[in-house]
Structure 1
Amino acid sequence: MQLTYDFHIHSALSPCAENDMTPNNIINMAKLKGLDAIAVCDHNSTKNLPAAAKIAQEASITFLPGMEMTTAEEVHVLALFEDVDTAFVFGDMVYEALPDIPNKPDFFGEQLIMDENDEVIGRMDKLLISALPFDMDECCARIKEYGGYAIPAHINKGANSVLANLGFFPPQLKFKTIEVVKGLAITNDISGFQKIYSSDAHNLWQIAEAENTIEVDENTVSAILKKLCV
């Protein structure tokens, strides 16, 4: 079966995202656009996953718990997990490892933790867009240690991508899937990879239309992750 998807959406927890990227608004916009499956991947945190997952279940949208990690090389890597509980524990580990650089909401933006009613129940103090003290190899190793799967994010962007920052795909990491931005040039050979095209949405209107599809055996998180990463 074919599923329409967007596997890279930011919530209001990411300082660079709009404050109206609430759990309900994200899920309702995904539903309005006809998406079958989505992933919320905030910068270096998973605190908004429980609320988003609950609303997605009520809306019959398959929800992949995720995070966008920033490696020591400042490369962005998507981490996708089977379940919210595991992703949440992983997020606590990542947050603990972040440098003690405080967020400045007036400059970087708010970092809002929300419940299933879109009520603000907390804020993250550390700046979530900071680079972690883990290089790309260690980030991927830690994702795997927690049962997750790594996908290089927006590989053809001019910043915070594996090609912009490193210039090549580390062969030892053996990625099956990469995230590609439509319309941007790619000079490297990517013929050996499976490609996904997600929005990296930071506001509601950027969430993808129902135009990107993935062929899976069934509409489940496990089937999607098997297709993407196994």
Structure 2
Amino acid sequence: MTELAYDLHIHSCLSPCGDDDMTPANIAGMAALKGLDAVALTDHNSCKNCPAFLAAAKEYGIIGIPGMELTTSEEVHAVCLFPELYQAMEFDRFVYSRLIKVKNRPEIFGKQQIYDENDSVYREESCLLINAVNLSFEGLWEKAASYGGVMFPAHIDKNSNSLIANLGFIPPDSSFQTVELKDMKKLHSLKREHPYLEHCRIISNSDAHYLEHINERGFTLPAAERSAKAVVDTLRRGLF
């Protein structure tokens, strides 16, 4: 086993709320500068910048993991990660077919830029990506798994767009084994209120929309090897 310093929730300039400097290559470069081992790109409801990001991550010698932050029909945010790029892009096509289509207005919501492997914009996404997807939180674990991936609820301690805030509870028949907290100081009180968390691996990511907000080296995950597959396997197993 090896311990990998991670940040598994980062937005590029494809997310309308992401800063224009959050290009795939800039993200990989900043992650390497901060000493991270494993980094995931998780734009809102899209994996379309993951090919460029994985190419840049390879150049910088870090583990790039393709993924997205999906918005369910209940407007719960959940991170979905995949061991292989082709799995992420197949999931991307499925999610895009379920996305509520509204034309983006860049002057209001922000640009949605898709980059090539030369870190240049080659097109913009026209449909607003921060809308909900016609897919319930119930069954999302199984849906991500059917594409070879893993799902974990995002920032469950936030008072909006989180599993607890939007549903009011953690469904007792849930299958996820990992959850994300923004503020680890809230962990003990959350465990008292939601015993399901006692069985989960707890991780903390930056949810960065600006380069300077990407995590410093600190939080680590155990993994069987230095690979995206090993990271996804750890998240899928949780504590067990």
Measure how far apart 1:118 and its partner are.
Answer: 1.6
Measure how far apart 1:107 and its partner are.
Answer: 0.6
Any gaps of 5 or more consecutive residues in structure 1? none
Match of 2:72? Answer: 71
Amino acid at match of 1:209: E
Alignment check: 8 A CA contact 2:141 2:176 kept: no
Count of residue pairs the alignment pairs up: 230
Measure how far apart 1:133 and its partner are.
Answer: 1.2
Match of 2:198? Answer: 191
Amino acid at match of 1:171: P
Alignment check: 8 A CA contact 1:44 1:129 kept: yes
Measure how far apart 1:215 and its partner are.
Answer: 1.6
Identity %: 44
Q: 1:225 aligns with which of 232, 236, 240?
A: 232
Q: Distance in 2 between matches of 1:164 and 1:191?
A: 19
Alignment check: 8 A CA contact 1:156 1:184 kept: no
Measure how far apart 1:86 and its partner are.
Answer: 1.2
Amino acid at match of 2:74: E
Q: Distance in 2 between matches of 1:138 and 1:54?
A: 32
Amino acid at match of 1:194: R
Alignment check: 8 A CA contact 1:157 1:184 kept: no
Instruction: Judge which range, 92-101 or 32-41, deviates more.
Output: 92-101
Matched, 1:150 2:162: no
Q: Distance in 2 between matches of 1:100 and 1:62?
A: 33
Normalising by the residue count of structure 1, what TM-score does the alignment of the two structures yield? Answer: 0.96
1:6-58 per-position Cα deviation (integer Å, ceiling 9, x unaligned): 00000000001101100111000001100001000000011000000011111
Q: Distance in 2 between matches of 1:184 and 1:16?
A: 26
1:191 match: secondary structure: helix
Amino acid at match of 2:153: P
Instruction: Judge which range, 198-207 or 177-186, deviates more.
Output: 177-186
Matched, 1:204 2:205: no
Matched, 1:159 2:160: yes
TM-aligned CA distance change 1:160 to 1:105, over 3 Å: same
Task: Summarize the alignment of residues 95-106 of structure 1 with structure 2, pairs less than 5 Å apart.
Answer: 95-106=96-107
Match of 2:221? Answer: 214
Match of 1:48? Answer: 49
Match of 2:94? Answer: 93
Measure how far apart 1:184 and its partner are.
Answer: 6.1
Task: Summarize the alignment of residues 129-140 of structure 1 with structure 2, pairs less than 5 Å apart.
Answer: 129-140=130-141
Match of 1:29? Answer: 30
Alignment check: 8 A CA contact 1:48 1:114 kept: yes
Q: Distance in 2 between matches of 1:162 and 1:87?
A: 23
Amino acid at match of 1:2: E
1:228 match: secondary structure: helix
Q: Distance in 2 between matches of 1:121 and 1:143?
A: 28
Match of 2:10? Answer: 9
Normalising by the residue count of structure 2, what TM-score does the alignment of the two structures yield? Answer: 0.92
Instruction: Judge which range, 185-194 or 48-57, deviates more.
Output: 185-194
Amino acid at match of 1:59: Y
1:136 match: secondary structure: coil
Alignment check: 8 A CA contact 1:68 1:78 kept: yes
Alignment check: 8 A CA contact 2:184 2:204 kept: no
TM-aligned CA distance change 1:176 to 1:13, over 3 Å: same
